[in-house]
Amino acid sequence: MIESDVTLDTLGYFCPMPIILTSKKIKELATGQVLQVLSDDEGIKKDMPAWCQTTGHEWVGLEEEGADAKRVYRVFVRKAG
Amino acid sequence: MNSTQVEPATTLAGLRAAKPERVTIVLLSGEMDKAMAAFIIATGAAAMGMQVTMFFTFWGLNVIRKPGATSAARDVLRKMFGWLNKGGAARLPISRFNFGGLGAAMMTKVMRDNRMPGVPELIDTAQDLGVTLIACTTTLGLLGLSKDTLIDGVDQLAGVSTYLAEAKDGSVNLFI
């Protein structure tokens, strides 16, 4: 279980919304805090690490729960300074 | 219209902030599917902290037309053309299976039912994220359009030199 400070729910949203909502939400965090993003879009598994690589925020990890259509991804990003 | 400028997604001082990566997109097409692809890439890039400029030319201008705005042309041919060539982000055709608008309406319904943003919402998001929208002056005139027939927030009217000046510094340049 990865610890997080703030959670962002993007369930039901498709690309590009999870990334756009993440880029807005991360501004509310302090440096070093961890944002947890909930998504049911499988693309998030590759998109969020790519977003981190480009923006400089730290990719912390991914947790998956549920199966098939009910699968939920929890991705964790640490805000860079 | 919210026109808040979004800073590059991090305060990763210095380098990135001083010289963000640039993306340019030329949208020549006026179909919903192609406009969606263009705006999804534009908003995604802006969310990644890139500086995005979109150029609209020919049918792409229909995407950023105010709904119901009529041609400003005075000569008959262009006036007629402006009348035939309807625009507005909410009423774009799709490039296959449009069937006189039925296909586009069906696709819009499926998108709405699945909470996928349509072209009007994507344009709002792009403007919110600070994407620069530029309309091509030559084709604007050719199609009998003027600046007042375009949506608010179209940052400037310009030509090919402006596009090239931006594109030569761009790491991603797309023509859709």
A25-39, B48-62, B151-165 — which is least confidently predicted?
B151-165
Domain annotation covers residue B28: yes
Nearest-by-Cβ selection for A57 from B10, B50, B129:
B10
Domain annotation covers residue B5: no
Specify the pLDDT at position B12. 53
Q: List the domain range (segments joined by +) for residue A51.
A: 6-78
Which residues, in sequence order, are CB contacts of B103 under 8 Å at separation 6+?
A: B93, B94, B96, B97
Give the number of domains in chain A.
1
Nearest-by-Cβ selection for A55 from B49, B114, B115:
B49
Domain annotation covers residue A19: yes
Domain annotation covers residue A18: yes
* Alpha-carbon distance A18 to nearest alpha carbon in chain B (angstroms): 10
Specify the pLDDT at position B49. 93
Average of per-residue pLDDT across B34-39: 98
Q: Which residues of B touch A81 (CB under 8 A)?
A: 11-13
Q: Is the pLDDT of residue A11 over 90?
A: yes
Digit-coded pLDDT (tens) for B155-171: 788 989 889 999 999 99
Digit-coded pLDDT (tens) for B78-124: 878 777 888 899 999 999 999 999 999 999 999 999 989 999 999 99
The question of whether A52 is a catalytic residue gets the answer no
* Alpha-carbon distance A44 to nearest alpha carbon in chain B (angstroms): 13
Please state the length of chain B: 176
The percent of residues in chain B predicted with pLDDT above 70, rounded, is 89
DSSP H stretches of helix in chain A? 17-25, 44-55
- Give pTM, 2 decimals: 0.85
Give the number of domains in chain B.
1
| ipTM associated with this complex | 0.81
